[in-house]
Structure 1
Amino acid sequence: MKAIWHDTVIAEAPEGDLIRIEGNWYFPPSSLHRQFFQPSDHHTTCFWKGDASYYDVVVDGQANDFGAWYYAQPKAGSIERVKQDFTDYVAFWNGITVEA
């Protein structure tokens, strides 16, 4: 699977390494092409997964603010609910596509 923005692959991993949560594909941290990711100060809270942190995705000088998110410390019980440890796994939105 590939995460793509502005015709650039920003993350890539076999589908079996990804985790599907609420319709979103979460990529393992090792699959990210780190040169495209910058930490963001943006945070949100999911009532059952916990506090999400974000990355800005930057390709060819164009920034996709808050284009990727992850849970550094999933809320108690959420890993059991998902049945996999999704700590630091990254999901995408805001125009970033995920393709097989």
Structure 2
Amino acid sequence: MQAVYEGTVIANAEDADVVLIEGNRYFPPTSITEGALQESPTPYTCPWKGECQYYSIRVNDQVTKDLAWAYLHPYPTAIERVGADFSGYVAFDPTVTIREGVVPREGSLP
């Protein structure tokens, strides 16, 4: 599975490694292309998942604010509810294209 923005792959993972939560696909931290995300100061706390870290996406020296987010330390009850530890997994805004069934190339992950 890939997350693609402006024609650039920003995340690349095996479909089985991606966690689906409320219709959003959360990619493992190791699947994120190095340098593609920058921490954002935008605050948000989900009532059931916990404190959220937003990220801006950087593609071709252009930065677009708050198109990705992660729960670095989700509530234990959220992990229980989801059935998987999604700590640090990254989800993307709908403007980011998600391609299912794409097999990562050997050595393509950071």
Same fold at TM > 0.5:
yes
1:23 maps to which residue? 23
Shift of 1:28: 0.1
The 4+ residue runs of structure 1 with deviation greater than 2 A are none
Q: Quick one: distance in 1 between partners of 2:96 and 2:56? A: 11
2:56 maps to which residue? 56
The answer to whether the 8 A contact 1:2-1:9 is kept is: yes
Q: Quick one: distance in 2 between partners of 1:43 and 1:24? A: 19
Q: Quick one: distance in 1 between partners of 2:70 and 2:97? A: 16
Matched, 1:75 2:75: yes
TM-score with structure 2 setting the length? 0.87
Q: Quick one: distance in 2 between partners of 1:94 and 1:83? A: 24
Q: Quick one: distance in 2 between partners of 1:94 and 1:39? A: 19
TM-score with structure 1 setting the length? 0.95
Give me the CA root mean square deviation.
1.0
Higher relative contact order (CA 8 A, sep 6+): 2
Matched, 1:11 2:11: yes
1:93 maps to which residue? 93
Give the share of equivalent positions with the same residue, in percent.
43
CA-to-partner distance for each residue in 1:18-47, whole Å, 9 max, x for gaps? 000000000000000021111111121111
Instruction: Structure 2: give runs of 5+ residues left out of the alignment.
Output: 101-110
